[in-house]
Amino acid sequence: METILQAKNVQKKFGTKGNVYTALQDINLEIQEGEFVGIMGPSGAGKTTLLNIFSTIDTPSSGDIIIAGQNIVKMKEEQLSDFRRNKLGFIFQDYNLLDTLTVKENILLPLALSKVPATKIEQRVNEIADTFGIRGILDKYPYHISGGQKQRAAASRAIVANPSLILTDEPTGALDSKSATSLLESLSTLNENNKSTIMMVTHDAYAASYCKRVIFINDGQLFTELHKEKQSRKGFFQQILEILASLGGGHNDTL
Tens of pLDDT, residues 9-53? 999 999 887 888 999 999 999 999 999 999 999 988 999 999 999
Res. 126: pLDDT tops 50 = yes
Write down the pLDDT at residue 47: 93
Which CATH number belongs to the domain containing residue 45 in this structure?
A: 3.40.50.300
Asked if the structure places residue 253 within a domain, the reply is no
Calpha distance 44→140 (Å, rounded): 38
The backbone torsions φ and ψ at residue 148, rounded to the nearest 5 degrees and listed phi first, read -65, -40
**CA nearest neighbour of 170 among 41, 6, 77, 35:** 41
Q: In this model, does residue 254 exceed pLDDT 60?
A: no
Return the DSSP state at 251: B
How many angstroms separate the CA atoms of 128 and 153, rounded? 9
What torsion, rounded to 10 degrees, do the Cα atoms 158, 159, 161, 166 define? 80
Domain membership of residue 254 (yes or no) is no
Q: Would you say residue 70 lies in a domain? A: yes
pTM of the complete model: 0.89
Closest Cα partner for 159 from 89, 110, 104?
89
- Residue 127: inside a domain: yes
d(CA 237, CA 228): 9
Q: Answer whether residue 251 shows pLDDT above 70.
A: no
Buried b or exposed e, range 102-133, using 16+ CB within 10 angstroms: bbbbbbbbbbeeeeeeeeebeebbeebbebbe
Strands of the sheet containing 62-67, edge to edge, are 19-32, 3-16, 62-67, 70-71
Domain annotation covers residue 252: no
The per-residue pLDDT for 92 is 80
Does pLDDT of 101 surpass 80?
Answer: yes
Residue 163 lies in domain: 3-247
Our measurement of the distance from residue 147's CA atom to the centroid of its chain's CA atoms, rounded to an integer in Å, reads 18
**Stretch 2-7: mean pLDDT, rounded?**
96
Residue 180 lies in a domain: yes
Closest CA relative to residue 250, chosen from 38, 52, 55: 38
pLDDT score recorded for residue 174: 84
- Return the DSSP state at 172: T
- Is 139 within the bounds of a domain? yes
Please choose, from the candidates 208, 204, 187, the residue with its C-alpha nearest in 3D space to the C-alpha of residue 196. 187
pLDDT bucket at 249, cuts 50 / 70 / 90: low
Encode pLDDT of 202-243 as tens digits.
999 999 999 999 999 999 999 999 999 999 999 999 999 999
How confident is the prediction for the chain on average, in pLDDT? 92
Q: What is the pLDDT confidence band of residue 8, given thresholds at 50, 70 and 90?
A: very high
Residue 7 included in any domain: yes
- Give the count of domains, the chain: 1
